[in-house]
């Protein structure tokens, strides 16, 4: 009796986990993908902020940018737009893009409660909102490792 050679989807991977599609998962690819999305978010903030300022000023609503609630949501939108565009360019499906977008908004939405209760100030909202995005993104990525760490 002679055995069949192992196929890539059934052969054990010498290092790393194997994704459901048979590709080896890479921590390096995962970290690089994370870094790319953080860069895209920063680009979104830098590029889209002046657009918002121009539009809001033209509409007589520039105060919205300085309101901590709307300002935070506008900033999260800037980051989400750029990150979503990058993810779509990289070939991601809409569901993971939406999940990653939620990771931009949820930290701010959660922090709106202590802000409204005057337990934190606007600076704390912005600092912690941005910091908490990072683990929120990591959680979204870890829910779908094959989406972000395949080689």
Kindly state the average pLDDT of the residues 53-72: 95
Report which of residues 14 and 82 the model is more confident about.
82
Mean pLDDT of the chain: 86
Question: Can you tell me whether residue 18 is helix, strand or coil?
Answer: strand
Higher pLDDT pick, 106 / 151: 106
Cα separation, 141 vs 36, whole angstroms:
13
Bridge partners for 150 per DSSP: 25
The confidence band for 26, taking pLDDT boundaries of 50, 70 and 90, is confident
User: Which of 19-23, 49-53, 123-127, 137-141 shows the lowest mean pLDDT across its residues?
Assistant: 19-23
With a threshold of 0.75, does the pTM exceed it?
Answer: yes
Check pLDDT > 80 for residue 28.
Answer: yes
- The most distant pair of C-alpha atoms in the chain lies apart, rounded to whole Å, by 82
List residues bridging with 18 in a β-sheet: 24
- Asked whether 96 and 105 are in contact (CB, 8 A), the reply is no
């Amino acid at each position: 009796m002679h055995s069949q050679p192992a196929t890539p989807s059934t052969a054990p991977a010498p290092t790393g986990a194997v994704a459901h599609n048979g590709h080896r998962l890479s921590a390096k690819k995962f970290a690089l993908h994370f870094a790319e999305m953080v860069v895209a978010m920063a680009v979104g903030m830098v590029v889209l902020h002046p657009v918002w300022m121009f539009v809001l000023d033209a509409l007589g609503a520039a105060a919205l940018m300085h309101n901590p609630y709307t300002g935070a949501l506008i900033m999260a939108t800037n980051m989400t737009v750029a990150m979503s565009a990058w993810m779509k360019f990289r070939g991601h499906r809409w569901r993971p893009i939406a999940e990653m977008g939620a990771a931009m908004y949820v930290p701010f939405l959660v922090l709106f409660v202590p802000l409204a209760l005057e337990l934190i100030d606007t600076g704390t909202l912005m600092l912690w909102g941005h910091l908490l995005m990072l683990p929120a993104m990591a959680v979204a990525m870890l829910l779908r490792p094959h989406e972000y760490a395949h080689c």
